[in-house]
Every structure is written in structure tokens, then in C-alpha cells.
Amino acid sequence: MKVYCISDYESAPIFKLVNISTFEVTNRKETIGIFNMITRDADAGIILITDRIAHLIRNEIMSFVNKNDRPLILEIPSYSNLIKNEDRREKNGTISG
């Protein structure tokens, strides 16, 4: 079983560091091409896709998930969204340490 990641540029290094096959995309056309390539791979078990990129192909993801049970597709926060949320929590005083 292979794990893949379709990611925005900022988030990609995190997944590459843990040796996950990562594809950096910047637009809808690229994203659809990579998504289709991965979903045709019989060994694909999990696709991690950052929320910023998933937004570009939401309909394609939902259509695929409704027809297939594998690979598992997990939408994860983009790195820039994580940083923004941390900054927001710090300003609101909600970080516990």
C-alpha cells in the first residue's frame, strides 16, 4: 500500500521529510491530472490532500469517493492555515503550555 500527498508548495516539505510521495500542484488542471494518476494506481492506499488543493477539485473528490472505497482520501490542513490558526489562538490567549 502506497501513501501519496497532493499538496500546495508551502506544505510539501513536511511530507517529503517523512518520505511520502508528494506532488506539489498550483492549479486545477495539474491537480486533476495528479489525482487521476494516483487513483489509477492499484497500490494506492491513502491520498493525503491539503485543504487548499482539495478546494480546487472538490467535485472530483466527492464523485470518486461516492463510487470507490479505495484509496482512502484524507483532507488535511495546509501549512499556511495551521500557522494562521496558531497566530489567531495566541492573540486570543487560548494556547496552553
* Cα–Cα dist 80/83, whole Å: 5
pTM to 2 decimals? 0.80
Instruction: Report pLDDT digits (tens) over 30-70.
Output: 999 999 999 999 999 999 999 999 999 999 999 999 999 99
The total number of structural domains in the chain stands at 1
Domain interval for residue 40? 2-92
CATH code of the domain in which 30 resides: 3.40.50.10580
Does 97 map to a domain? no
Sign of CA dihedral 21, 22, 23, 27: positive
Does 85 map to a domain? yes
Does 76 map to a domain? yes
